[in-house]
Amino acid sequence: MSQSNTVAVFGVKIAITDSSTQSLHQALTGQDAVLCVLGHTVSDRQVDVINATAKVGVKTFIPSDFGTPKGPNDVPEYRAILRKKAQAQALLEEKAKEDDKFTWTSFWNGPLLNRSMALFPNFGFDLMNHSATIYDSGNESFTAMSIGRIGKPIAAVFKHPEETKKRCVRLLAFTTSQRTILEALERLTN
């Protein structure tokens, strides 16, 4: 499913929608599952997609929850995103209680490395000037996932529906910290 103004070309059948309730119902009718990959700037539309998905009898919903940090967060930009994600999560849980055939699986995978590197290429490290900006102590670990690696866990939802239904699945591609990255850079740039 894609927005009506898309110019992308895919190797699968695409249902074009204007995001109206009628258009969403038409696009989602007859589908077994929805993998929602809305960007954070339009993540409020996910509620409409969830409502339409449940209304037309789709069995499985995977929310657009990839790469968003979970838990307390003092970064203002993330607080707004987290509010929208929490609203979508609450709605998924509500719909699953209303209809025991409706399930969802959410993935908590930390930052999507490819996207993060594009947005913040140095992650606080100025390689040209051999300097670093360390946040907090720098020892706080974080996990990350690449966009290319997230497909296998998504596919596993359909191979293991009972084990993954109505729950959040935590994914770890790798765990590191700013200090660990700094030590590696120091060894490499001696």
Q: Are 97 and 107 within 8 A, CB to CB?
A: no
Return mean pLDDT, the chain: 84
117 phi and psi angles, rounded to 5 deg: -65, -35
Of 104, 112, 124, the closest CA to residue 164 belongs to 104
Q: What is the DSSP string of 133-179?
A: ---TTS---EEEB-GGGTHHHHHHHHHSHHHHTTEEEE--SEEE-HH
Q: Give residue-wise pLDDT tens across range 147-184.
A: 888 889 999 999 999 999 999 998 888 888 889 989 98
Q: What is the pLDDT at residue 91?
A: 97
Query: What's domain 2-188's architecture?
Result: 3-Layer(aba) Sandwich (3.40)
What single letter denotes the amino acid at residue 46? Q
Pairwise CA distance, residues 113 & 139, whole Å: 19
Pick from 2-11, 131-140, 156-165, 173-182: least confident: 2-11
Q: What is the DSSP string of 49-103?
A: HHHHHHHTT--EEE-S-TT---S----HHHHHHHHHHHHHHHHHHHHHHH-TT-E
Kindly report the pTM of this predicted structure.
Answer: 0.78
Report the share of the chain in percent with pLDDT over 70.
83
Q: Give residue-wise pLDDT tens across range 21-72.
A: 999 999 999 999 999 988 777 888 999 999 999 999 999 999 998 765 555 5
Average pLDDT over every residue of 73-77: 60
Q: Are 125 and 188 within 8 A, CB to CB?
A: no
Q: Decide if pLDDT at 76 tops 80.
A: no
Q: What is the pLDDT at residue 175?
A: 86
Q: Give residue-wise pLDDT tens across range 79-91.
A: 777 788 889 999 9
Q: What is the pLDDT at residue 77?
A: 63
Burial class (CB in 10 A: 0-12, 13-18, 19+), 144: buried
